[in-house]
Structure 1
Amino acid sequence: MKATPLDESDVIVLQPTVFSDDRGYFFESYNAQTFNELVGPDIHFVQDNQSRSTQGVLRGLHYQVNNPQGKLVRVLEGEIFDVAVDLRKSKPTFGQWVGARLSSTEQNQIWIPEGFAHGFLVLSSHAVVAYKTTDYWSPKDERYLLWNDPAIGIEWPLTMEPLLSAKDQNASPLSQTETY
């Protein structure tokens, strides 16, 4: 597995070794020992999530304040543009974003450590996204960062007006959000 850091944010794109032949392909999508060698100290996942969305759906930017979640995100079907915004005040990358295209054809993944808001835009006709989290979902701790906050300046590859949930439509800009 190859690990490519995105800038100095601690967010890492992971590319597994894929073994292909005329029957199809095989790859190891997760191996705790390899993951911890590439990413850092012992990270333990406690929950797996999956979503299916149609083209133009923008989910995010979501995070939890008291139970922050690290996320290992991958696409099972389709293609997305995945984004992480650093909300750690102690880091020089606070308020900055990084993004990467993830797809089922590339089989790449992204590791987003605790302390980031996370979201994605579906680029293909639909996408099935799966991700592991380091803490459980806590509705009372969930917060929403405005996806198009000019102070952050995310360059979403939009080809249409994004489809947003009510929570994402009413999200707060960085200047009004709780951070770490």
Structure 2
Amino acid sequence: MKVSQTKLPEVLLLEPTVFEDERGFFMESYHAHKWEELGLDYPFMQDNHSLSVCAGTLRGLHYQLDPYAQTKLVRVACGAVYDVAVDIRKGSSTFGQWVGAILSASNHRQLLVPKGFAHGFCTLVPNTEVLYKVDAPYHAASDRGIAWNDPALHIDWPVSKPILSEKDAKHPMLEDAELPTWKAAPNSCNKDGAAE
């Protein structure tokens, strides 16, 4: 498996090793022991599966507050999405910055979206199925969101008029959202590389 940092160092792009022949392909989409060897030790506890019938369907930007914040491992089983993660950790040097990647059933790529980042995606083709692992359960009282089209974020979505749920259409702008506060370990270098 190839692991690459994005411009947001905590958000990782993963490319599993794929074995292909005339029958099709085989890959390990997740292997706990191999992840631990790479320093990726996340206690994933739940698998989620969504189907978006229409291209241009946008889901997001979603996150949960502590203690129910979630790390997500996102991949596509059928179709393709433009997948986005936004740093929403107040106090982080990359606060308000985002990264996007095309995930598809054909490229097999996965995006690891850690706690403290909002997540969303826009489908690029009809009948797209997205699978994602999470390390904390859904908790309605902790569920939050940010407007997909917040001008402060300047996210380069592939559509200007997406199909949205009523809930996603009502998310607040980043400046009005209830957000997590980012804290580095004392007397150490934080994840942005700055000494405390």
Return the TM-score normalized by structure 1.
0.95
Superposed CA offset, 1:93-144 (max 9, x none): 1111111000000111110001111000000122100000010000111011
C-alpha deviation, 1:37, in angstroms = 3.4
Distance, in Å, in 2 between the alignment partners of 1:173 and 1:17 is: 39
- Map 1:99-118 → 2, pairs under 5 A: 99-118=100-119
Distance, in Å, in 1 between the alignment partners of 2:9 and 2:89 is: 10
Distance, in Å, in 2 between the alignment partners of 1:58 and 1:15 is: 24
Superposed CA offset, 1:22-59 (max 9, x none): 12111111011222333x35210011100000211100
Bigger radius of gyration:
2
Opposite residue 120 of structure 1, the aligned amino acid is F
Number of equivalenced pairs:
178
- Do structure 1's residue 163 and structure 2's residue 159 form an aligned pair? no
2:89 is aligned to 88
Distance, in Å, in 2 between the alignment partners of 1:50 and 1:99 is: 20
Q: Is contact 1:64-1:141 (8 Å) kept?
A: yes
Distance, in Å, in 2 between the alignment partners of 1:17 and 1:81 is: 21
Opposite residue 157 of structure 1, the aligned amino acid is P
SS in 1 for 2:35: helix
* 71-80 or 20-29, larger mean C-alpha shift: 20-29
Return the TM-score normalized by structure 2.
0.87
1:172 is aligned to 172
Give the superposed CA RMSD. 1.2
2:99 is aligned to 98
**Can you give the 5+ residue segments of structure 1 that lack an aligned partner in the other structure?**
none
Opposite residue 56 of structure 1, the aligned amino acid is G
SS in 1 for 2:101: strand
